[in-house]
Chain A
């Protein structure tokens, strides 16, 4: 029996073979760093024989993660094998499990064609067109913040900005945009996280999401092809005839991909600066550090803690034999703290050398398609913050998300000062 929650407090006494790091409570407590530090040191490619998600391998070193990422012929993302997260439909109860095909959870060649369909929306030429609008809306959101009184940064800034961005990319009805936030939370949530009461409720809400988008899709397919994600998929050869579950799956991918990730890097970046006043002083002295700082914030936060693969054949990784059919979890959050690949990985340094060399976007054919949009959003929000506020103070303990996948914050009380 692998370790359960009661053991979190006495990590040191647990035999390494009994460690099970895939416990949402560890992440909710912000304790995962110590667990991964021990795995990297004692058993960097680690087999956990039993967990709430079944047996799985943990890949914890930067270079081993890179090897798995680049070997997509052996390490499959295919949704029917379990997809890209440790939690697969098997663990969602009899009625709640949904197998959702989506291009991140496909292997070539189908993955390649669907990815190419949506990729132009986040290409540099289109980002240039979006930049002014992002800056204007970021300014509006920041100008509305109450100065000198406590509020929730996650809701007022991180969620609002990323949800607005997503609404624009989908050309989604503006007044309904918080539905996107809800669907994103539901898609990665679970009954134990409190986001939904049951797996069945999760399924029902995701079907509501599909029904809502179906209406938008039906409108767009009648119109001329336009530069929004729904129109691009509705008119794209590789995506226009998707089966229903694949339609829903790709929507969820784009909603979560464009929402949870940047949201948590905005929140996590603020917390990092709050906890490292000397770095904030560097930023004040030289705002031209912002682009480099953004890469460091993304590494520091690593808003998706892992991606999962399934072995299609026996394969050695870091000296261990992974067997065909095994579940393999690449812990990006651990690779991004790996002292053998990153200098002083436990230090948050906004002027870090080679800051772009981090694992948070993944590598290989599934590398985050929206990476440059995410960086641009973060750069703009920090440039606009520096124009407006002298200081942002985190005034209470933030609430962390109860998940082994989304690594982030659901609440962060702050006070902004002019």
Chain B
């Protein structure tokens, strides 16, 4: 099963192992990883599962599709960068085993 490392804003690492097909948002919320709120339930509607994909992983994960709902929402996230994604839009697979996602100070 693929592993994800969520790195909190203070550097604390949380590693979770999930079934392929699980979203990174559900991986965090279901395992009570602090720092991912996911208020809309994983429907790409609230932008409270904002994460920064680690540089080494951004090509494998990909950036938010231009003009997608995700791109429209994520532009409002605090400290938005090129590596910003919504965790609900990242589906885990064996290819993403070892994925590292950095978290913002808090969700907004």
Interface residues of A (CB under 8 A from B): 66, 69-70, 108, 112, 115-116, 119-120, 122-125, 127-128, 354, 356-357, 361, 363-365, 367, 369, 371-372
Contact = CB atoms under 8 A, between A and B. Distances in A.
Main secondary structure of the interface of B (DSSP, over half): loop
A112 B75 CA distance: 8
B43 A356 contact: no
B1 interface: no
Contacts of B47: 367
A372 B69 CA distance: 22
Given A108-B72, A364-B73, A365-B72, A124 B39 contact: no
Contacts of A361: 39, 46
21 contacts: A66-B45, A69-B45, A70-B43, A108-B72, A112-B76, A115-B76, A119-B76, A122-B108, A124-B105, A127-B106, A354-B41, A356-B39, A361-B39, A361-B46, A363-B43, A363-B46, A365-B73, A365-B76, A367-B47, A372-B106, A372-B108
Given A108-B72, A124-B78, A365-B72, A66 B43 contact: yes
A357 B39 contact: yes
Interface in B12-58: 37-41, 43-47
Interface residues of B, number: 21
A124 to B, nearest CB: 4
Interface of B: 37-41, 43-47, 69, 72-73, 75-76, 78, 104-108
A119 B78 contact: yes
B56 to A, nearest CB: 26
> Which of B37, B40, B76 neighbours the largest number of chain A CB atoms within 10 Å of its CB?
B40
Contacts of B41: 354, 357
A119 B108 CA distance: 10
Nearest to B48: A356
A212 to B, nearest CB: 29
B104 A124 contact: yes
Contacts of B39: 356-357, 361
Contacts of A66: 40, 43, 45
Contacts of B78: 119-120, 123-125
A123 B107 CA distance: 9
Contact of A357 (B40, B69, B76, B107): B40
A115 B72 CA distance: 13
A41 B1 CA distance: 43
B45 A70 contact: yes
Contacts of B75: 112, 116
B29 to A, nearest CB: 9
B45 A364 contact: yes
